[in-house]
Amino acid sequence: MARFFKRAPAPPPAEPKSRRRDFSELKPDPDKIGISGSVPFVRLPEPGTLFADRAARLRAAAPGHPLEAYLLFVAAVARAQAVVQATCPPPAAPDRADLALRAEHGMPLLSRHTLEADPGFDGCLTALLAELDLSAAPEASQAARSGLLAASREDRLDLAVQVFEGALPVDRIAECVFVAAALQVRFAEAAARLDAKTLKPVADGVCPCCGGAPVASVVVSWTPADKARYLSCSLCGTYWNHVRIRCTACGSGEGISYYGLDEVSKDVQVETCTTCHSYIKHLHQHQAPGLDPVADDIASYGLDLKIAEDGFRRAGLNLLFVI
Ligand SMILES: [Zn+2]
Ligand SMILES: [Zn+2]
């Protein structure tokens, strides 16, 4: 049964339409962002294993789970991502001068221009749609696939730009899941080709590679430092360092608490902030190395339901589980 939860003040006003920030206003401040300096700032994604591992994790979590059907659906999406990642030609290397300029101005190195300049994106998306096994999926998902395949290339790219910007049209959410899946493949590949040494902190809760929002906070096991904490990007899969006990949404170190639920794995908690009333999943990968930010965020949905009752809003973004 539920435990720990306490009452919180009323939630803040509705979020702005886009989840992306205007980076021209930001002034990177590593001290404020809290980079510890003793651990690698980023770990770039490994697209060759990322999606297959995620599919396996989802399939393992599904049997008997209250969200079994949805976990299997996302497992089918992740399997299709693994197939197209392995078979579609990767995106071209980003323009070096553009990368240098963006780094100089403290901006994420990849942008919507990366997407608009990628001639292979549409082929990746349509290949993913063709690869998907939706035999057990709800009718809405099958209709979304048919609708996307029937749409023009321009319409698919326009929707992809909206998903990249974090401004998902509510009447096209089922299509957005498939578009996001293709974006994850392309941006994981693009991020994997960046030079990790050129990446710098941008702002709290902003991926230094692509500007995406984190899906979850992860205490990792793969650095020599004890219990180093990273955020995992919802779009490109990059992990970037974020100091512990600091809100990922507003940067406050005050009023941070951690909660779990008996019916959810003890290795998955939520980190809540009473300054901005947001929360994010907090995964103890150092205790359970198989935890996957996207898969285990969905599998721990019971935590979302419970913490929402107490007035907290989600700071994390899971593009395959838009709630
Ligand atoms: Zn990213
Ligand atoms: Zn906060």
| Residue 322 in domain | no
Residues 6+ apart with CB under 8 A from 29: 201
Q: What is the pLDDT of residue 228?
A: 92
Whole domain around residue 169: which residue ranges? 47-192
**Are 85 and 120 contained in the same domain?**
yes
The reported pLDDT for the residue numbered 20 is: 62
> In angstroms, what is the span from residue 222 Cα to ligand 2's centroid?
27
Distance from Cα 258 to the centre of ligand 1, integer Å? 25
Domain shared by 174 and 228, yes or no = no
Residue 233 and residue 295 in one domain: yes
| Residue 319 placed within a domain | no
CB 270 within 8 A of CB 247: no
Q: How far is the CA of 63 from the centre of ligand 1 (A)?
A: 31
Which ligand gives the minimal distance to the CA of 208? 1
Point out the ligand nearest to the CA of residue 271: 2
pLDDT in tens, 202-234: 998 999 999 999 999 999 988 877 789 999 999
Q: Residue 13: CB partners within 8 Å, gap ≥ 6?
A: none
- Pair (54, 146) in one structural domain: yes
User: Which residue positions in the chain have pLDDT lower than 50?
Assistant: 1-17, 23-35
Question: What is the reported pLDDT for 153?
Answer: 97
* 142 and 248 inside one domain: no
Going from the Cα of 292 to the center of ligand 2, the distance in angstroms, rounded, reads: 24
Residues 33, 53 share a domain: no
Q: What is the pLDDT of residues 285-308, one digit of tens each?
A: 999 999 999 999 999 999 999 999
Helix axes 153-164, 121-131, angle to 10 degrees: 90
Based on the domain organization, do 170 and 275 belong to the same domain?
no
| 49 Cβ contact list (under 8 Å, min separation 6) | none
32-65 exposure pattern, b = at least 16 Cβ within 10 A, e = fewer: ebbbeeebbbbbbbebeebbbbbbbbbbebbeeb
For ligand 2, the distance from its centroid to the CA atom of residue 159, given in whole angstroms, is 30
**3-state secondary structure at position 222:** coil
Distance 231 CA to ligand 2 centre (A): 15
What's the pTM?
Answer: 0.89
pLDDT computed for residue 21 by the predictor: 53
Question: 3-state DSSP helix/strand/coil percent for the chain, to nearest 5?
Answer: 40, 10, 50
User: CA-CA distances (angstroms) from residue 232 to 15, 30, 72, 134?
Assistant: 21, 18, 22, 28
Give the residue ranges of DSSP H helices in 34-104: 47-61, 68-87, 96-104
Among residues 306, 34, 43, the alpha carbon closest in space to that of 197 is found at 43
- List Cβ neighbours of 170 (8 Å cut-off, separation of 6 or more): none
Give me the pLDDT at residue 19, please.
58
Instruction: Compute, in angstroms, the gap from residue 275 CA to the centroid of ligand 2.
Output: 5
Report the relative pairing of strands 313-314 and 278-284 from DSSP bridges: parallel
* Residues 244/245/248/252 CA torsion (nearest 10 deg): -130
Alpha-carbon span 323 to 307, nearest angstrom: 13
pLDDT for res 28: 40
Domain containing residue 172: CATH number: 3.90.1670.10
Looking at the structure of the chain, the number of domains it has is 2
| Ligand nearest the Cα atom of residue 234 | 1
Query: What are the CA-CA distances from residue 93 to residues 27, 43, 219, 235 (Å)?
Result: 27, 19, 31, 18
Please name the residue that has the structure tokens 């991926």.
207
Q: Give the helix ranges, DSSP H, for the chain.
A: 30-33, 47-61, 68-87, 96-104, 112-116, 121-131, 139-150, 153-164, 173-192, 293-299, 301-309
Please tell me the number of the ligand nearest to residue 276's CA: 2
Of 158, 192, 226, which marks where a domain is finished? Answer: 192
